């Protein structure tokens, strides 16, 4: 047996043990808290603390930026790798805020499953709907976790009806609450209905809640009407056919549903086990030119995120790469598909939030941090053996624009370096205005909070505070030479309404969709191409 075939077999065997998934939700649904609770139950950390959004409180492992800790929100994605049972889990925590949808979309290009959080009181919110649509578009199966059941909220059956009616996705409960939201008495594992799991929360939720298995007859005696109602609801759901079917789940037609409270670590173990038991392992990945690359093919990986200054002591830059096929070995030379040039993988790390350690070998589903990989960009494919290129990473249509200038002209060099770095990371899109030139770039963002991140990082990481001047544009369209010429002649848009992106694509900026449509009618020969919208 050749060494290559042995490596292929090893890649396939290790891939079967991997579960690579994202945690996604509307802001404030408890996403980062759940991320930490999952790590706690897998014994990857020894103590957890809730995220309360107030300065001075201890943040979660995945929220490592100072801005995240101060605001109590996630503004960038993070990677946590840990083991549970016989599986290796790669958990990608994502920004919850809608302004960072683009970062979330990139993360979803690197996972095989998603855990969607729903707030028990609020149900399906705007960002929840958008993320469900993205998962459906990418064919990513979704596990649903109804969070905050220890607080007052809506009826459980009502929440299931909302999921089914709005998403045409069949909810199939795997756990069911005993007691209304805010009056949680325990959980029933639908697969073992002859008992109830009762929880005793640890002080502050710092450790896993104590779990007691209560026989059905005792639960009935002690919980009375709450137990009777839970059993009646489960019988109704069973009669309606709302039982988990693995094929339907993987096909994106149903979603297994779990109930609990992440801040109290209630129901989290059952969810963690479900990720191992239900989430799919890595499989063949679609290629840009058609066909797919199986996990046992030679190495290929997708760069889905670039992040600088995670370690401020070293001021380095990490390209996060999802291994899609084969075995990754540190120190080998691979090919960057975009340039066809070799790329050395001398410095490779496994990542747990901000902490990291050198990794020598990684398998399909694993996420590797390539340190100081200055040549790499978001969407790059790396490969060895037979050439491969994964589909390009889409860019969302920006809706907010601002001119950036250095607050201190003496820091112009640091200003240019910082803006270039944030552009490469995809924090914002950096455009050049024909009116202002490269010394005053136009920043384009999906949401205004991205500008807050730019200002914070430019000051604290690059020592180059910036002044941002908002521009009155909210619609961007890709155009051609005819469109650029027309823009320079029309009264609808003047000067900086025409900008160029990094790849020299001309973009036409308009104050509103109505003015973009008016321009298209006046100049029918000019190409105006709609970019991928932020809501798709």
Domain-wise residue ranges, the chain: 19-77+84-278, 285-383, 400-530
C-alpha distances out from residue 121 to 146, 171, 215, 343, Å = 9, 18, 30, 50
Residue 173 known to bind ligand: no
Q: Is 286 left (phi over 0), alpha (psi -120 to 50) or beta?
A: beta
Q: 315 or 130: which carries more pLDDT confidence? A: 130
- In angstroms, the CA 209 to CA 212 distance is 10
At the fourth CATH level, the homologous superfamily of domain 400-530 is Peptide chain release factor 3, domain III (3.30.70.3280)
Name 466's Cβ contacts closer than 8 Å, sequence gap at least 6: 404, 405, 406, 407, 415, 454, 455, 458, 459
Residue 93 known to bind ligand: yes
pLDDT band at 491 (very low <50, low <70, confident <90, very high): low
Residue 94 known to bind ligand: yes
Percent of the chain surpassing pLDDT 90: 48
User: What is the pLDDT at residue 346?
Assistant: 87
3-state secondary structure of 15: helix
Burial class of residue 132, CB neighbours in 10 A (0-12, 13-18, 19+): buried
- In angstroms, the CA 138 to CA 238 distance is 30
User: What is the pLDDT at residue 509?
Assistant: 87
Burial class of residue 87, CB neighbours in 10 A (0-12, 13-18, 19+): buried
Mean pLDDT for the stretch of residues 227-246 = 95
Which residues are registered as beta bridge partners of 406?
Answer: 466
> What's the whole-number average pLDDT of the chain?
84
Which CATH fold would you assign to the domain 285-383? Elongation Factor Tu (Ef-tu); domain 3 (2.40.30)
C-alpha distances out from residue 56 to 51, 71, 83, 514, Å = 11, 10, 31, 46
CA 192 to chain centre: 33
Written as six digits, the tokens of 149 are 């059941």
- Which residue matches tokens 């045409």? 168
Q: Span 19-77+84-278: which CATH code? A: 3.40.50.300
Residue 95 known to bind ligand: yes
User: What is the pLDDT at residue 91?
Assistant: 92
Q: What is the dihedral of CA 313, 319, 325, 329, to 10 degrees?
A: -40
- In angstroms, the CA 118 to CA 15 distance is 30
Percent of the chain surpassing pLDDT 70: 85
Q: pLDDT (tens digit, 9 = 90+) per residue, 202-219?
A: 776 677 888 999 999 999
Indicate if the pLDDT at residue 51 is higher than 50.
no
Mean pLDDT for the stretch of residues 465-481 = 89
First to last CA, the chain: 48
**Whether the Cβ atoms of residue 242 and residue 160 lie closer than 8 Å to each other:** yes
User: What is the pLDDT at residue 122?
Assistant: 92
- In angstroms, the CA 187 to CA 268 distance is 11
Q: pLDDT (tens digit, 9 = 90+) per residue, 433-453?
A: 877 777 889 998 887 888 888
Residue 296 known to bind ligand: no
């Amino acid at each position: 047996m050749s060494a290559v075939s042995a490596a292929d077999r090893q890649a396939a065997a290790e891939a079967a043990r991997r579960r690579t998934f994202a945690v996604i939700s509307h802001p404030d649904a408890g996403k980062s808290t759940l991320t930490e609770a999952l790590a706690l139950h897998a014994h990857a950390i020894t103590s957890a603390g809730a995220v309360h959004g107030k300065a001075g409180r201890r943040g979660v492992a995945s929220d490592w930026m100072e801005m995240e800790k101060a605001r109590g929100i996630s503004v960038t994605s993070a990677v946590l790798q840990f083991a549970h049972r016989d599986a290796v889990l790669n958990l990608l925590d994502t920004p919850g805020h809608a302004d960072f949808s683009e970062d979330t979309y990139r993360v979803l290009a690197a996972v095989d499953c998603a855990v969607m959080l729903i707030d028990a009181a609020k149900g399906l919110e705007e960002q929840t709907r958008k993320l469900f649509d993205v998962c459906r578009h990418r064919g990513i199966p979704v596990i649903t976790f109804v969070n905050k059941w220890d607080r007052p909220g809506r009826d459980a059956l009502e929440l299931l009806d909302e999921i089914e009616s709005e998403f045409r996705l069949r909810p199939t409960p795997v756990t069911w609450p005993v007691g209304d939201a805010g009056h949680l008495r325990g959980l029933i594992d639908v697969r073992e209905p002859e008992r109830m799991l009762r929880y005793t929360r640890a002080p502050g939720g710092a450790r896993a809640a104590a779990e007691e298995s209560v026989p059905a007859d005792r639960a009935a005696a002690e919980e009375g009407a709450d137990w009777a109602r839970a059993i009646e609801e489960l019988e109704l759901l069973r009669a309606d056919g709302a039982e988990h079917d693995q094929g339907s789940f993987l096909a994106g037609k149903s979603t297994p549903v779990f109930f609990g409270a992440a801040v109290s670590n209630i129901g989290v173990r059952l969810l963690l086990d479900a990720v191992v038991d239900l989430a799919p392992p890595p499989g063949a990945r679609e290629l840009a030119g058609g066909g797919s690359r199986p996990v046992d093919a030679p190495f290929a990986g997708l760069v889905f995120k670039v992040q600088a200054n995670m370690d401020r002591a070293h001021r380095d830059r990490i390209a996060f790469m999802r291994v899609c096929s084969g075995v990754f070995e540190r120190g080998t030379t691979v090919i960057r598909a975009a340039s066809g040039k070799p790329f050395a993988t001398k410095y490779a790390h496994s990542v747990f939030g901000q902490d990291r350690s050198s990794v020598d070998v990684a398998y399909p589903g694993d996420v590797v941090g390539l340190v100081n990989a200055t040549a790499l960009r978001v969407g790059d494919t790396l490969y060895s053996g037979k050439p491969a290129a994964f589909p390009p990473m889409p860019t969302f249509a920006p809706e907010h624009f601002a001119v950036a200038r250095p607050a201190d002209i003496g820091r112009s060099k640091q200003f240019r370096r910082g803006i270039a770095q944030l552009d490469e990371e995809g924090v914002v899109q950096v455009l050049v205005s024909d009116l202002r030139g490269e010394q005053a770039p136009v920043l384009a963002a999906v949401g205004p909070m991205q500008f807050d991140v730019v200002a914070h990082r430019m000051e604290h990481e690059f020592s180059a505070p910036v002044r941002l001047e908002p521009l009155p544009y909210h619609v961007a369209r890709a155009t051609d030479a005819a469109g650029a010429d027309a823009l320079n002649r029309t009264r609808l848009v003047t000067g900086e309404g025409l900008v160029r992106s990094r790849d020299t694509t001309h973009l036409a900026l308009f104050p509103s969709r109505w003015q973009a449509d008016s321009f298209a009618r006046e100049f029918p020969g000019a190409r105006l191409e709609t970019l991928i919208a932020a809501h798709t």
